[in-house]
Structure 1
């Protein structure tokens, strides 16, 4: 091969690429310099990055793929993996299959390149350690052992611990091999190659029968164990408020700067802040908002609220409808998800649209939050992460889009939403109500500490029967409360006497007389102090604040009893919180016996 500039030292042929315009052979490290000043370069070509991939695809030999798909390949990094992809027909067919399915969505092009590179890495590794040379060799049942070995090596399998360094890659490669097998089978059937089609079908049977044994089981176990004992971080409300205030301040600052000086730097600063605000306000997935299309924002519904619909809304809700703007974008799995915009965000986004071309954004860039001099968009996750560290909050790692979504879904339990309202919230967040309940509820560790521990404590104290018929939320047990000894409580004879005495009192008897007739247990430290009858003033004071617990048959906790004593310091100055609690418990026991409960 004769290069336009001969190297002083011997080089490998893969280090040289033909120019896409003049077909001259140049070193790949200096190709960009030639492309910049190539005499045959069209005048309307503004230049672009990754010229190596562009030139590699425009070689005289060429690739048997569509022109549109070849454009996607031209943006792939040019290295050993991409050269492996270009040399294998099956990987190219896999990429074109995915392009035919989702190529109309510009945001999926990176995903298509990523899946192709995963398979390319597998083939590159297989060529080093196995006799396999093409992906067609993978789809032969006799080579299944070699396939397993290559997948384990590329996924970082450790035989001693039976775990994977990258377990998700092992699972993804299994799906990709299944798709390649289907493509090879269908192509063989269309070409009348029944032997190759039968071979692909046999490989699928082997894959279905043994893949879980060799790969999936260990990879899934590794993924699950990695999540054990991992702290579930949820943002603090105060941190979210600080971040909101910081972004509002930066928003006003960068908005004025871009209006006064239309530069790429000011455009980028305002775009990043606005993107962070939209994600934070809507609790939307950062990828969805980052890939918002310019056409979606420009075609937003700005019509006034319909009169017939306005009748069904309150005055406050009608004002909110006129205040916010709604934009519909593509969400996960192709769902239509809404994004609500405040007037300040709309004005900032309109300014970004007006100044994008002046600030160096290519006209072909389809994204709302487009980057200057590139065909991509800013990444919302990075923008939020940078803003979280700048505002100086306590836990910036907790302020990611995923954790913020879990924060709103978890805190929504405070609102006690009914089924329909919870479904509306899940629909706005862009997922099914079943996903909302499974993944966006209170953390599992919190549930076990807060709910299940009450059952275990009641079993330990032997008081579980006292909470018969109650819900977990109604059970209140103080973890510091000591188990009462038999001689510290009322004897069974005394309880029977009290119950008989209370049962003889008519319903018209005043509450003070009823409580005076029923003597409570001794206060804490009763082994020293004698039993003391409850006075009328004490009964009225407790009944004033604790009647709700007595009527609902709920035993109050330590804090409830202490609040009662603090509210009535004069009347209950001789009583401790355990004395108040035992009094209420006796009242409940008497009511249950009287009612036949």
Structure 2
């Protein structure tokens, strides 16, 4: 490999990386783009090692070659490799569904593990053997990962010394004052173990009493079941110096319990699941920091990657803004959060004639003043159907005055919309009409909606909004 770290061989290195990464020259894409990027980091590190070794042995010529190679790598690697590889990675994620676990699947897996846990605990206690030890260790490992949403590698490599030295002291009285009664009970119920996390970060693991009982039994019987005394891991393998792999344990349990999508229950997706579902809670910034810290995330990374999927956000949130703009009702939601906006996507755009001017609305619908008597002409008197054309959107037809019975009927069902300054949708208006068929028989859903909107407008004016 040292022979490649020469400036004149840089083009050969580029060609080799493209071959092993599956580069397609026509499409300028890679079959394994992540491999191309990783090889770039490795080459940069190798050149630094070659240079330092050459300097240690006084080989200044080789050190100079390695230094020049690294300069070329830094200047041209992006052009030859990185740009295409990163583009391939990004485009591969377009229009692909984000797989997160179903809550029901997680519940089924919890139940399955709990059942097996009880069976295996009794079995190992009554008749210690390598098989029963291994089975209980795998189930307990899966339970700890699943409950804590911890990275499987972190829990798998939990040290025996960390479990034995867990903090079992009583809750400090001064701290207990700051907690609620329920929170104080939780502190007494759970045990807490601190383990090594990603990048050497200290991360906590919470253990239920049933988990602690199983782990204590594993500690008591490990040597009887063939675990070497030198094995430092809590979830140690029988007859080996390694530990069981949490990912494999969870995958096996997920397949056994017959859930919809076993592949979705990986430790990474379970972590994304809790971070995503936590958006349901109205966490303040401090609480979000606590959740990120418990999961072992930097809060910036937590907010950037562990959130509702981008496609879901755009469908659920941004579509509200676009529909409000389309309907011309965005101003009706002044001062509201996106979560507070509700718009019926099936509601048709109102005809231009359905919306009256502000002065007409106040005079016809809100002031409840009687319209002046029409001037006698030779024209025939309009029928009742023509008079009620206010609901049909005819701008030339006279506005039909709202009777007291109609006003009271609307207020009985739509007062919550008026008080919250929220314009109702089509379905809300139709429900109101169906609930008051006699009083509102002359009104359509657009008429009811316009009346509520007029009331909201007047309320805002009076309040100086």
Shorter-chain TM-score range: 0.7 to 0.9
Aligned to 1:335: 201
Q: Which residue of 1 aligns with 2:56?
A: 190
Which residue in 1 is equivalent to 2:449? Answer: 581
Offset of residue 189 of structure 1: 2.1
TM-score, normalised via structure 1 length: 0.69
1:541–1:572 Cα contact (<8 Å) kept: yes
Select the residue among 556, 559, 580 that pairs with 2:424: 556
Residue of structure 2 aligned with 1:496, choices 359, 364, 369: 359
Q: For each residue in 1:401-434, what CA deviation from the matched residue of structure 2 results, as whole angstroms up to 9, or x when unmatched? A: 2222122112212221111111111101110111
Equivalent position of 2:106 in the other structure? 240
- Following superposition, the deviation at residue 577 of structure 1 comes to 5.0
Map 1:433-582 onto structure 2 (within 5 A): 433-487=299-353, 489-492=354-357, 495-500=358-363, 516=368, 533-558=401-426, 560-561=428-429, 577-582=445-450
Kindly tell me: are residues 256 and 590 of structure 1, through their superposed partners in 2, closer, same or farther at Cα, counting changes over 3 Å?
same
Alignment map for 1:236-275 (pairs within 5 Å)? 236-275=102-141
SS at structure 1 position matched to 2:350: coil
Cα distance change of structure 1 residues 219 and 497 upon mapping to structure 2, 3 Å threshold:
closer
C-alpha distance in structure 2 between counterparts of 1:156 and 1:364, whole Å: 44
The residue that corresponds to 1:378 in the other structure is 244
Is the CA contact 2:332–2:421 (under 8 Å) kept in the aligned structure 1?
Answer: no
Native 8 Å contact 1:516 1:539 kept in 2: no
- Report if the CA contact (8 A) 2:236-2:243 is conserved: yes
In the TM superposition, residue 460 of structure 1 has moved relative to its aligned partner by 2.9
1:391 and 2:254 are equivalent in the alignment:
no
How many residue pairs end up in the alignment?
A: 447
Pair 533,263 (structure 1): closer, same or farther in 2 beyond 3 Å: farther
Equivalences for 1:102-251 in 2 at 5 Å?
135-251=1-117
Q: Deviations over 1:292-346 (max 9, x none)?
A: 1111111111111122222222221111111100000111111100000000000
> Residues 408 and 517 (structure 1 numbering): CA distance in 2 closer, same or farther, change over 3 Å?
farther
Distance 1:517 1:324, change over 3 A: farther
Taking the aligned partners of 2:355 and 2:84, their CA distance within structure 1 comes to 59
Q: Aligned partners of 1:153 and 1:162: how far apart in 2? A: 13
Structure 1: distance between partners of 2:461 and 2:101? 48
Which aligned pairs between 1:46-125 and structure 2 lie closer than 5 A? none
Q: Deviations over 1:452-507 (max 9, x none)?
A: 112222333344444455433333221111112224x1443xx42332578xxxxx
1:590 maps onto 2:453 in alignment: no
CA distance in 1, matches of 2:217, 2:248: 22
Please give the alpha-carbon distance, in whole angstroms, between the structure 1 residues aligned to 2:122 and 2:389.
72
SS at match of 2:241: coil
> SS of 1:416's equivalent?
coil
| Aligned mates of 1:423, 1:257 — CA distance in 2 | 42
For residues 198 and 79 of structure 2, the distance between their equivalents in structure 1, rounded to whole angstroms, comes to 31
| Alignment deviations for residues 562-593 of structure 1 (CA, whole Å, 9 cap, x no partner) | 66567777766776654443322222233345
Instruction: Give the gaps of 5 or more residues in structure 2.
Output: 372-387
C-alpha distance 544-139 of structure 1, shift in aligned 2 (>3 A):
same
Q: Provide, for residues 221-263 of structure 1, a one-character-per-residue CA deviation record: whole Å limited to 9, x for no partner.
A: 1111111111012222222212111111111111111112211
C-alpha distance after superposition, 1:326-375 (max 9, x if no partner):
00011111110000000000000111111112222222222111222222
After superposition, give the CA deviation of every residue in 1:42-84 in whole Å (9 maximum; x if it has no partner): xxxxxxxxxxxxxxxxxxxxxxxxxxxxxxxxxxxxxxxxxxx
| Residue range with higher mean Cα deviation, 389-398 or 564-573 | 564-573
What is residue 159 of structure 2 aligned with on the other side?
293
1:323 aligns with 2:186: no
Contact 1:388 1:399 survives alignment (8 Å): yes
State the partner residue of 1:83: none
Shift of 1:198: 1.5
SS of residue matched to 1:275: helix
Partners in 2 of 1:515 and 1:365 — Cα distance?
85
Native 8 Å contact 2:347 2:425 kept in 1: no
Secondary structure of 2:113's counterpart equals helix
Q: Distance in 1 between matches of 2:211 and 2:392?
A: 64
1:295 aligned counterpart, secondary structure:
helix
Residue 594 of structure 1: how far off its partner (Å) = 4.9
Where in structure 1 are there 5+ consecutive unaligned residues?
Answer: 1-134, 503-513
Q: Does 1:426 align with 2:292?
A: yes
Q: Which has the higher contact order (CA 8 A, sep 6+)?
A: 2
User: CA 1:534/1:414 → structure 2, altered by over 3 Å: closer, same or farther?
Assistant: farther
Contact 2:361 2:454 in 1 (8 A): no
- TM-fit CA distance, 1:449: 0.5
Aligned-CA RMSD value: 2.8
Do the aligned partners of residues 362 and 482 (structure 1) sit closer, same or farther apart at CA in structure 2, a change above 3 Å counting? same
Question: 2: distance between equivalents of 1:566 and 1:419?
Answer: 45
